[in-house]
Structure 1
Amino acid sequence: MNTLPAWARRHLAALRALLVFTVICGVLYPLAVTAVAQAPGLRHRADGSRVNADGRNAGSALIGQKFTDAHGDPLKQYFQSRPSAAGGGYDPTASGASNLGPEDVVDTLPDPALVKAGRPDPNARQSLLTQVCVRSMAIGAREGVDGSRPYCTGGGVGAVLSVIGPRDASGAVVHPARVVSVNEACPATPFLATYRGVKVECRAFGEDVDAGRITPVRGGTPARPAVPSDAVTASGSGLDPHITPAYASLQAERVARARGLSAGRVGALIDRHTAGRALGFMGEPAVNVLQLNIDLDRTAPYRG
């Protein structure tokens, strides 16, 4: 005869259920999944798709990484990955995007007093547009091509105006009274001298430009910039290990020159590590940067 009170029986039943489901869900199920993952054809992916070079683990074929020196500068003998917004860059524990959208075009300018003192301003922030412009100019200089692109100034910031004046019912400024280049801090010379007959001013520190209509200016740059879009924008995960064949081709001459190779030989290596569209129709062709760089080290070690 069970002499336990009702409350004790309920707690004992709950404890038995907890132990049973702990064994099933916490022990047996993970072991079963692990066993299946070690089956032929799955083991490499389940173990992280690790890539070995000279007997050491060089990274994962599924996660991008930097190819820079101790100062963070790109190494000329290697192909460079696309930017990453995951943590400090390609951090799988902080996978994610910058969450900045196409309307993020106004910078928060640094305090000129801190700049003069050589100190960073923690409140300063580059807009997504300026980040793209800065990256494009830097890559253009590195690869020896024109790094300009639409909506960027010649100085490499977002070409954006605040047009101040009375507006009509649609919100358009009817007669501009002032025009401010919002991403060019005084005493800079604005990228445009005048806009609709009004002199363009540089932006004073702390000036509120939201009073005007924010107006990006496309400029006269080519519709298709020399620097591809994946070279200046991060992927949604921040971990993308691939670049487009166009970005790889842009870097080929620099890598060939650094390693003393012909452009044709480097092009053949790019082709070898270019994967086609998934199932023949999904996505775009892509080049795995890590595997390409490892192949370069094996076939033509850098002697610099």
Structure 2
Amino acid sequence: MTSTTRQLLASARMLLVLTVLLGVLYPAAVWAVGRVGLSGQADGSLVRRDGAVVGSSLLGQDFQGDRWFTGRPSSSAYAGSSSGGSNLAASSADQVKAVRERAAAYRAAYGVAAPADALTASASGLDPHVSPANALAQVHRVAVANGLPETAVERLVEQHTQGRVMGFLGEPRVNVLELNLALERMGR
């Protein structure tokens, strides 16, 4: 057997071993971990109400009307098929105008300065969270529209405030879909 033939056979065996290892066993292990240990996340973190899927805890939705807490602005109109930011620089005239308009509308609606997440869209345009300050600023409007005591709605926001990931990553946040579903249950 020549040296070249031995090298070709060794290469073919290595190709077969790596194909089975990386093309079959590794994907099967990842799939099994997703199905067994993380099935909710593997299915898209779907949120259900009365057995029906109403959204995903990972995707923002456009809630209209005074009855609901509203999320961050979205440059994609919350369309998951076209997620993405506006790609406007902070100094862009269009961005400056949009932020000024949102700040004025927020101050008029809530009587306080708007937190940053009420002024700018997230990078994906689909962020499902708002800051606790943003959610708390909306409590009065939501409570009045739903005929609920402000303290009860405030407590609901506090109950749905998630802390930093692992205690130090990111900022505290409130998932708007989950908060609105809890609000709906409260009003029943």
Which TM-score band (shorter chain)? 0.7 to 0.9
After superposition, give the CA deviation of every residue in 1:16-61 in whole Å (9 maximum; x if it has no partner): x79x94x776665443321121123x11111111111121111111
Counterpart of 2:31? 34
Selected match of 1:101 from 82, 89, 95: 89
Structure 1 runs (4+) deviating above 4 angstroms are 23-29
Gapped regions of structure 2 (runs ≥ 5): 1-7
Aligned residues: 176
Deviation for aligned residue 1:254: 0.4
The answer to whether the 8 Å contact 1:97/1:236 transfers is yes
Structure in which a larger fraction of residues adopt helix: 2
Contact 2:62 2:77 in 1 (8 A): no
**1:265 aligned to which of 152, 155, 159:** 152
Q: Which blocks of at least 5 consecutive residues in structure 1 are unaligned?
A: 1-9, 69-74, 106-126, 147-225
> Aligned match of 2:70 in 63, 67, 80?
80
Residue 51 of structure 1: SS of its match in structure 2? Answer: strand
Higher Rg: 1
Equivalent residues of 2:68, 2:142 under 8 A apart? yes
C-alpha separation in 1, matches of 2:82 and 2:22: 27
Q: Which residue of 98, 106, 109 maps to 1:139?
A: 106
Tell me if the contact between 2:110 and 2:137 (Cα under 8 Å) persists in the aligned partners: no
Distance in 2, matches of 1:130 and 1:137, equals 11
Name the TM-score, length of structure 2 as normaliser: 0.83
Amino acid at match of 2:28: L
Do the aligned partners of residues 144 and 277 (structure 1) sit closer, same or farther apart at CA in structure 2, a change above 3 Å counting?
Answer: closer
Partner of 2:78: 89
| Corresponding residue SS for 1:38 | helix
Q: Which amino acid aligns with 2:111?
A: V
Give the residue type in structure 1 aligned to 2:146.
R
What is the root-mean-square deviation in Å for CA atoms of aligned residues?
A: 2.3
Contact kept in structure 2, 1:244 and 1:286, CA below 8 Å: yes
Amino acid aligned to 1:89: Y
Identity %: 46
Q: Helix, strand or coil: the match of 2:69?
A: coil
159, 180, 183: which one aligns with 1:293:
180
Q: Which residue of 2 aligns with 1:63?
A: 59
Higher strand share: 1
**In 2, distance between residues paired with 1:136 and 1:104?**
16
Superposed CA deviations along residues 185-233 of structure 1, whole A, max 9, x for unmatched, are xxxxxxxxxxxxxxxxxxxxxxxxxxxxxxxxxxxxxxxxx12111110
The alignment partner of 1:294 has SS state of helix
Q: Decide which of 167, 173, 177 is 1:280's aligned counterpart.
A: 167
> What letter matches 2:39 in structure 1?
R
